[in-house]
Every structure is written in structure tokens, then in C-alpha cells.
Amino acid sequence: MKNSTSFLPREGEAQPSRCPDNSAFKQQRLPAWKPQLTIASVLSSFFLTGAFCLTVGVCLVLSANSVREIQVDYSDKCSDCSKLRENSSNWNKECHCSVNFTLKEAILGDVFMYYGLQNFYQNHRRYMTSRSDAQLLGRNINIQRSYCAPFSTYRNGTPMAPCGAIANSMFNDTIDLFYSRNSSVIQVPLLKTGNSWWTDKNVKFRNPESYNLSSAFAGTARPPYWQKPVYLLDEEDERNNGFVNDDFIIWMRVSAFATFRNLYRRLWRVRHFAEGLPAGNYTFRISYNFPVTRFKGRKHVILSTVVWSGGSNPFLGIAYLVSGTAATLTGFVITGIHLKLRKKKTYFQKQ
């Protein structure tokens, strides 16, 4: 082993310098800009920010208030069906109920139908991760290695399609709207496609490749709480069936809050409904399948229009108003402090 003194510099040798290189970057001589905060620039920034936020907030609140919306809660009116659904042995029994309501004024323009759930928590970590994105892309994977458990396979080893707790708890009530016109009942035409995000429909969800959907999902079984397999979600439209079904795609985008609404249908503006929904008597006919009593939840249907800022949620407008008010008040407080200190400075200068 060499002597440790061999690493020390010999006499007469120059020791290496530990100073940074003499460059503009390492010696911090690069040109820089430092803002000079004057009282005029600070106050103008606060007041301009406050004016901008207040203006945008007022516009957003007025826009949200201009949305026409009607909400119908059918939890109590369909209580008999709710009791039937609480018993899991009645999963194959159908139950229907009707809810009447009246539109005193016509809802003009595009009308959207939503279903709403209350006290249904989708933000639990295990619930949110209980899915297989690879399976939803139509890939042939080993479901047992996914995060879908315990909704991955049955006891006999048959994999579920789709797997996971999110898919298993999919909202499956069927809601139809009827309009009473001149002693006759007309079913309101509703569109069930084109409601999901384009990226979800065309990128995140794919059906397995096969000559038909029934063979594509051969060897799999429906989730336990479903009444029919995934390839029968929409038997009328092949492009809206399987994993690319709009209702299924919308449900798989979980909500952050316990009370939420999801888009269900859009009004097809034809014939009597070319201008929107006319005033009159309407009826919701509901095929009740989704139980909510055990978690003390409630269900409702919403008919709503939309504006340039979205739906009838005033949260964003209120947030802008609060921010604008805070910025404006801060500007006035700084102005008061500045005037008070300037008076003291003038007083001492005179003394």
C-alpha cells in the first residue's frame, strides 16, 4: 500500500485553486434585470388584478344564472323499486316507475339530460385504482395481475369484462322522457352517442379485435352487478357497444365529490322539439336498477341547457369575485399605509 503522504503536494508545486473560473456565468457578471417596486407600480398591479377578476367573476356568475335547469328527485317516488333492488336475489326482476313534472316555460336550444347521485363516494383510493386500462384498450392480458381484485375473476377462474370496482358499480337505470301533447303522449327523441370525450372514445377505450363482439368477449363474463354482458350494452349501434359505449365511458371517469352528475342523453332537435323542449306536462319513465338505500344516497334527473362558460355551476365565478375583492382590498390597505407613513415622514422633515 502506498504511503498516504504521496497524495500531498510536493514542495515547490502549486496547489490547485478551488476558486470558480473567471467567467461571466460563474462570477455572476451576466446582465440581469431587477424590478424596481415603486408604490405606483404595486398599487396599479393590485387594482388592475382586482378589476380584471371582478369583471370576469360578474360575467361568469351572470352566465351561470342564465342557464335553464330543472331537477327531479325520484328516490322517494320509486321507493317500491328501491326496496326490490336492495335484495340481491331480485337482480333479474324488472321494476318500472314514473315521475311527472311540468315545464311552465319552454327550454329553448340544446337540452342535456344528466343523472345525479348523492352521497356516492368515488374518490376512495382502492376504488379509483380498481380497473385495468390495458383491458379497456382491448388487449389480452392476465386479469389476476391487475388491480381489479376482488372484481377480477369468478371462483371458477372466468375473467370479468370489464373488471374492477368502478365498472361493477356502473349506473344502469334506464330513463325515457315523454311529452303530453293534445291528449297524446310523444316520446322525446334523445341521443345516446356523442356524449363522451373524444380522447376517451377514440384513444383510451377499444374493443378486442374479432369479427363480432360476442366472439371478441368469448371466455369472459359480465361483472356481478350487471344484468347483461358488455357486448349487449347497445344492441342497436355497433359503434356504441362494448368498451366504447358512451354510458360506460362516462361512468369510468370518476368524480372527486360525493355529489355529482354525469351526462346521460342529449335532446335530438327534430319535429316538435326542433326549438327545444316546449312548455307542458312531461313524464320520466324509469327502469329502476341502481340501488342507493344502503349508502343513504339519492338519485335525480336533470334537464339543463349550457352556455359559453358551461353549466349552472357558479363556483368559478364566485372564486373570481373573491380573488378580485381580496386584491382590491389589499390595494386600499397598502394605499392607507403609504399615506400614513408619508404624513409621518413629512412631519419629521418639518421638525
User: So what's the pLDDT on residue 280?
Assistant: 93
* CA atoms within a 13 Å half-sphere pointing along the CA-CB vector of 261: 19
State the CB neighbour count (10 A cutoff) for residue 294: 8
Alpha helices in the chain (DSSP H): 39-65, 79-86, 125-129, 133-136, 165-168, 198-199, 213-216, 246-252, 315-350
> Three-class SS of residue 47?
helix
Q: Which residues contact 90 (CB under 8 A, 6 or more apart)?
A: 84
Q: Following CA atoms 336, 341, 343, 346 in sequence, which dihedral angle do they give, to the nearest 10 degrees?
A: -150
User: So what's the pLDDT on residue 197?
Assistant: 93
> Three-class SS of residue 272?
helix
User: So what's the pLDDT on residue 170?
Assistant: 95
191 close to 265: Cβ distance less than 8 angstroms? yes
User: So what's the pLDDT on residue 93?
Assistant: 84
Q: Which residues contact 281 (CB under 8 A, 6 or more apart)?
A: 100, 101, 102, 179, 180
The dihedrals phi and psi of 193, each to the nearest 5 degrees, come to -120, 165
Q: What is the pLDDT along the chain (351 residues), one digit of tens a residue?
A: 455 555 555 666 667 778 888 888 888 888 888 888 888 889 999 999 999 999 999 999 999 998 999 999 999 899 889 888 888 777 778 899 999 999 999 999 999 999 999 999 999 999 999 999 999 999 988 888 888 988 999 988 899 999 999 999 999 999 999 999 888 999 999 999 999 999 999 999 999 998 889 899 998 999 998 989 999 999 888 899 999 999 999 999 999 999 999 999 999 999 889 999 999 999 999 999 998 988 889 999 999 999 888 888 889 999 999 999 999 999 999 999 988 888 776 655 655
User: So what's the pLDDT on residue 12?
Assistant: 60
